[in-house]
Amino acid sequence: MDSTGFLQLYSDAALTSLSFFWKALWAFILGYIVSSMIQVFVTRDRMQQAMGSAGKSSVALGTFFGFISSSCSFAALSTTKSLFKKGAGLVPSLAFMLASTNLVIELGIIIAVFLSWQFVVGEYVGGILLILFAWLFVSLTKHRKLERKARKRLRQQDDDGQDSDQEFDWKDKIQSWDGWQQVARKYWMEWGMVWKDVTVGFTIAGIISAFVPSSFFQTLFIGAGQGANPGFFALLENIIVGPIAAFLTFIGSMGNIPLAAILYNNGVSFGGIMAFIFSDLVVFPVIRVNAKYYGWKMAFYILAILFASLVATSLVLHYGFSAFNLLPPSSQSPQSTERFAIDYTFFLNLAFLAISGGLLWLSRQKSAHSHHHHHGGGRNRVEQVLLWLAIASYVWLAGGVLVHFVR
């Protein structure tokens, strides 16, 4: 490849990354506004009191509370640890963690923007299946000793000071100025937790889209580009390789969606793409945080349960959709050359950017109750790596835009 060809691909990669983000911006804002409202107007104490052993009602409550506490992976890990420490059963705790990272409104909106309705349905149905399979696999394994050791380890650790919230009447809070200030602060906290993942994820998506040929995906994913319904072993390989690819990128689910769209555009099977999307809780940073909370044995046990669950879920989804003739068609359509059109996306982005500006102003006003939560748990090194990758991404994007205008 000569220098001219490289510069063209470099420019295309940067503009594709920026266009991906522009396309999804209004959906991010809408999703985080809804998520912030739900988190502010619900207390955690009632969750802890309601989630006991692995009975039907406890698992259902863990799933429901996870849904209304939608958050990034690291925040979900922190809250799950708090619930488990307070006495919630292992299965309800896992149900909460899986629901809070998969059954989330903002993720469904982003999937709808980049993929198709089948993937949205697959995300929510799959989120329920993940919980059911995790429940099944935990019940089939001898985990009591590991669970007791994990609880003992947590009791020996210092309290993180975030295990409870003050009780309140949500009807009064939703009508108060202070309540909406908390929503505004939570909204910007959500962005603070994910901006590095989103930046790196969208940048990598643009690089892969421009520099990686379709032949690579056909080699990595058996049967890619050869139809929507490959044979069983090809599908199983796709489902296993999907989490491995996610493991190597270690980007959160929100940043992985444009990468999932690239896999779809290169003909990867529906089951393989769903496995890739479900893999945000089996990446190394998450394993490392779990190890700090519960110890390495328990962390690997949770990893095995989640990996087996996502493989089983992806298989059931693929063949279930196939049985009802609902599989999305195998797509290898090229990206649109008009990246920043004056269309509905443009006006939606302007409207939601204005709303974000209002929330920024509201978050900076003095409040009677200011809450500053730090989602910790041993992820400083990971955050530092992501920070430097995000800075490198901005440099890369700026260089690509400059190349586009000076060539």
Tokens of 171: 């009807």
Instruction: Give residue 38's pLDDT band: very low, low, confident or very high (50, 70, 90).
Output: low
In 3D space, the residue among 363, 386, 398, 343 whose CA is nearest the CA of residue 26 turns out to be 343
Model confidence at 249: pLDDT above 70: no
Q: What is the DSSP code (8-state) at residue 281?
A: G
Whole-angstrom Cα distance, residue 96 to residue 274? 20
Whole-angstrom Cα distance, residue 273 to residue 269? 6
pLDDT of residue 335: 47
Radius of gyration of the chain (CA): 21
pLDDT of residue 369: 54
Model confidence at 126: pLDDT above 50: yes
Least confident of 97-101, 137-141, 215-219: 215-219
| Range 324-339 average pLDDT | 69
Question: Domain residues of the chain, as ranges?
Answer: 8-406
pLDDT of residue 162: 47
Whole-angstrom Cα distance, residue 223 to residue 332? 13
Model confidence at 257: pLDDT above 80: yes
Burial class of 322 by CB neighbour count within 10 A (0 to 12, 13 to 18, 19+): middle
Instruction: Give residue 89's pLDDT band: very low, low, confident or very high (50, 70, 90).
Output: confident
Question: What is the per-residue pLDDT across 200-213, written as a single tens digit (0 to 9) for each?
Answer: 878 887 888 888 88
pLDDT of residue 344: 79
CA distances from 386 to 174, 246, 250, 256 (A): 35, 15, 10, 14
Start-to-end CA distance of the chain, whole Å, equals 17
* Higher local confidence (pLDDT), 26 or 378: 26
Model confidence at 303: pLDDT above 90: yes
Q: What percent of the chain has pLDDT over 90?
A: 28
pLDDT of residue 315: 97
Instruction: Give residue 366's pLDDT band: very low, low, confident or very high (50, 70, 90).
Output: confident
